[in-house]
Amino acid sequence: MENFGFKTATCHIQTRCSQFEKMKNFRLTLITENQNSLEKGKKFADLICETLNCENGFEISKYEKLKNSYRIEIIGKIADQNNSIAESIELTNRICSPWIMNFDRTENEVELMFNKSELANYRNENFNTLNWANFGIEK
């Protein structure tokens, strides 16, 4: 009887672990411009996190390739595990448009990329310091 109880407990733990492994995370990398202080970069990152309902925080560092620029990394969770493509598009659309999409047929996922241009449409005027962004599902 003790063995049977142990196997059941082990099975339960394995099920919970495999469910955890199936959770999908996204990584959003942002490159800003025209931000001459770390505080401005942090305010921008906070606003993006708030817009995406992402409570994990962010990492920020100076981006040396552009003057007065910062590189921001945000990792968040995909809420709808069965429809991550639609959620990816909806999340990035909260920030700006248009995004270039690359579809990975084997993984059934998308990678989205934004490049600032005259066609850029920012959902919030404070997002106009965004120069480049990449959104992808982590494997």
Give the residue extent of every domain in the chain: 24-137
Tokens of 62: 């100076």
The H or E element that residue 74 is part of is strand 70-77
The chain-wide mean pLDDT, for the chain, equals 87
Which positions ≥6 away from 113 have C-beta within 8 Å? 99, 100, 102, 132, 133, 134, 135
Residue 9 has pLDDT above 70, yes or no: no
Residue 2 has pLDDT above 70, yes or no: no
pLDDT tier for residue 38 given thresholds of 50, 70 and 90: very high
Higher pLDDT among residues 110 and 81, named by residue: 110
Higher pLDDT among residues 79 and 72, named by residue: 72
| pTM attached to this predicted model | 0.83
Task: Decide: residue 15, CB within 10 A, 0-12 exposed, 13-18 middle, 19+ buried.
Answer: exposed
Residue 88 has pLDDT above 90, yes or no: yes
How confident is the model at residue 63, as a pLDDT? 97
How confident is the model at residue 39, as a pLDDT? 97
Half-sphere exposure (Cβ direction) of 124: Cα atoms closer than 13 Å: 14
How confident is the model at residue 22, as a pLDDT? 65
Average confidence (pLDDT) over 121-135 = 98
Residue 84 has pLDDT above 70, yes or no: yes
